[in-house]
Structure 1
């Protein structure tokens, strides 16, 4: 949570979201068999990626593209594979290739946005997330809005970030990052009651870290919950003794004495 990044989504939640499109038929072949073969190769590559065998993922993806050379999903997964390997130029090339065959491939747009964010290309990343979010058929629009909020935070556009996090939570109330960041933004706006509500929802969904514990201490104090504030302080002291958040808490306590 301390590092405002998006890359965790690219490797975790997105590996399994590719939805296969129809294949290009060839004379004398069975389209159904073609599609099944592409699906099998994609599943094999996905399994390799999830297990960390990125080298092994490339061959089945290329086999899938031999069958369907216009498969946006296969190109998108190949791009993600190269991204994991640190081959950024190849990753960018294949993300673009994927979108050239299907400009509305929301999963690819979302992944490409994460890649661009990792490269520091914030404006371009935001555009890709926005395109994914505009697709009403995309089952993970909430993630796209959440990612738009993260980019807006990085750009110091707090009102826009707040808008995107609120939208993402209306679509999916289980988004931990959006829930926490919204609580933090509301705290900064001195909307302590609303921030406390979002924060408590966050604690039911996620583990604590230094930043979240420090926010919890502040919100608990502002909302008159001394027991919660004390509990968060104990956790911060015991779990993160070298954190800057603990230093901030100790400074606050010394100031109040």
Structure 2
């Protein structure tokens, strides 16, 4: 996740999964109890999204009193503990969730994100790979994007390219995959393909320091000095302490 990888960039569980993580629990509970479990989970999600992760544990514990074998609840509990930097409890919760429902691809994807954040790249890759095999998983494209990020961290650029391109075939609106491919192709000297992916990226996401620096280099190589200057000004204004700005100043200077 030329690649600026941060664990947080891979944590779909934290940035997206809290509003869309649904797995199937083992066994059935009465409708009214099922609603209670759902309500407790929504309450926990609300606490997390509001920045009160410490309050999210209690409603999840209450949900488990109603449905003690819920993969949904344990999966969310794993994310809550991860936010709290309780790594051992997070891993235990993810593993418990998967022991109750090994087909919970969302939980498996989120567990992979957790493993990535711990620097356990091979294990993370395996979890994403397993989740990617679920053809009915609505976020299957994300698993390929995540595998691409892990592959980049492992120095496997060719494999990363394959994963990012697969991710975009499934979902062309993945900003990260577009940006990483733009970066990969630029470093390979394929400015035409790089520019195509870069244009897709800026249509999907706000610019960050990494993307602005790439944009400067792409525009410069294409002779578009005005566009390069515009990106440079944004980099100066929005990211004054970034390593990308330092690199820009050292390599390009103020020629724009």
When normalised by structure 2's length, the TM-score is 0.90
Cα distance in 2 for residues equivalent to 1:94 and 1:36 = 22
Equivalent residue, structure 1, for 2:13: 10
CA contact (8 A) 1:38 1:67 kept: yes
**What is the RMSD computed on CA atoms of the aligned residues?**
2.2
CA contact (8 A) 2:132 2:143 kept: yes
Equivalent residue, structure 2, for 1:124: 123
Distance 1:240 1:72, change over 3 A: closer
Cα distance in 1 for residues equivalent to 2:179 and 2:25 = 39
Map 1:210-249 to 2 at 5 A.
210-249=209-248
The runs of at least 4 aligned residues of structure 1 exceeding 6 Å deviation read: none
Cα distance in 1 for residues equivalent to 2:235 and 2:36 = 52
Question: How many correspondences in the alignment?
Answer: 252
Question: Which has the larger displacement, 220-229 or 57-66?
Answer: 220-229
Distance 1:112 1:163, change over 3 A: same
Cα distance in 1 for residues equivalent to 2:96 and 2:37 = 18
CA contact (8 A) 1:213 1:232 kept: yes
User: Which stretches in structure 2 are left out of the alignment for 5+ residues?
Assistant: none
Map 1:187-202 to 2 at 5 A.
187-202=186-201
User: Which stretches in structure 1 are left out of the alignment for 5+ residues?
Assistant: none
Map 1:1-257 to 2 at 5 A.
2-5=4-7, 6-21=9-24, 24-25=27-28, 31-253=30-252
CA contact (8 A) 2:22 2:72 kept: yes
Question: Which has the larger displacement, 182-191 or 7-16?
Answer: 7-16
When normalised by structure 1's length, the TM-score is 0.90
CA contact (8 A) 1:20 1:39 kept: no
Which has the higher Rg, Structure 1 or Structure 2? 1
Cα distance in 1 for residues equivalent to 2:118 and 2:88 = 11
Q: Which has the higher contact order (CA 8 A, sep 6+)?
A: 2
